[in-house]
Amino acid sequence: MIRVAFIGDIVGKPGREMLKSHLAKLKNELCIDFVIANYENASHGFGLVRKNAVELFGYGVDFMTGGNHTWDKKEIVSLFADFPLIRPLNYPDEVEGEGYKILHVKDRQIAIINVLGHYGMPMVENPFTKTQKLVQSLHVKGIKHIFIDFHAEATAEKRGLLMMLKGKVSALWGTHTHVGTDDLSVIEGTCYVSDVGLSGCRDNVIGMEENAPIKRMSTGLPASLDIPKKCKKIMQFILCDIDDEGKCLQAYKYRIFDDRQTLIQEALYE
């Protein structure tokens, strides 16, 4: 068995601070073998810079996935060569970086895939056919431990991909909305949640200071989003136990707060 944790969108310094405060201790206490995290908002809410990549890997993250903000910092291209990072699979093949990687964890081959949805996202290739084809090719190679970060706006897209791949992948975790959902479940051996939720500020608008979003929504005028200097913080992640056949045996969602008791939700098994 391997125990894998997935941390959703890390939003700016508050999110990084929560990992600094808690991740190493959690890895030890929960006997976590491998930590995957989403980096696309890690550097002041938009993209990833080298300094923050070094910081996050230093806190105990083992691998990171991206999303529509992957390209917001120009230096991301050089980071692909130096760190265990991927970008969404369904960008054109000519785009820098890779959409999946195969690694060895506890003498097992595991594949980590990053996919971008269609609704409200940049123009990309079809996430459903592209991912299904890749999963089929991984099975041909004998790879059973397959983990997907589906970075999408629409819950229906995330559920749709689950219905296509249930029983064929170890986990399908949703990211992007920054709002954690309560539908954590294990379906035919596949761990699923529509959105893990952010790690960062929790008392504003999806991790951002609220005045700019309010101006955008009430006037239609542009306003620059910013990370609050002070806020109440949260760290959210999914913990999955995966057997030797790549099936999820059990899963839990953790919410770590900076000012109150930790909340743990167990998956519904179907």
Is residue 191 helix, strand or coil? Answer: strand
Domain contains 225: no
Q: Which of 65, 13, 80 is nearest to 35 (CA)?
A: 65
Q: Which residues pair with 266 in a beta bridge?
A: 252
| pLDDT for res 250 | 98
What share of the chain has pLDDT > 90, as a percent? Answer: 99
Provide the residue range defining the domain that includes 24: 2-201+232-269
Q: Does residue 130 lie within any of the structural domains?
A: yes
| The pLDDT of residue 167 | 98
pLDDT given at position 247: 98
> Per the structure, how many domains does the chain have?
1
pLDDT at 270: 87
Alpha helices by DSSP H, the chain:
12-29, 50-59, 76-82, 127-140, 155-165, 211-219
CA distances to 24, 137, 208, 215 from 60, in Å = 6, 31, 25, 38
Q: Is residue 217 part of a domain?
A: no
CATH number, residue 9: 3.60.21.10
Among 69, 145, 151, 176, the active-site one is 69
pLDDT tens per residue, range 197-232? 999 999 999 999 999 999 999 999 999 999 999 999
DSSP secondary-structure letter at 228? -
What is residue 112's predicted lDDT score, i.e. its pLDDT?
98
* Pair 101, 83: CB distance under 8 Å: no
Residue 222 lies inside a defined structural domain of this protein: no
| Residue 104 is a catalytic residue | no
Mean pLDDT of the chain: 97
* 207 within a domain of the structure (yes/no): no
Strands 171-175, 190-193: pairing is parallel
Regions of the chain where pLDDT drops below 50: none
Note whether residue 47 is domain-resident. yes
**67 falls within a domain:** yes
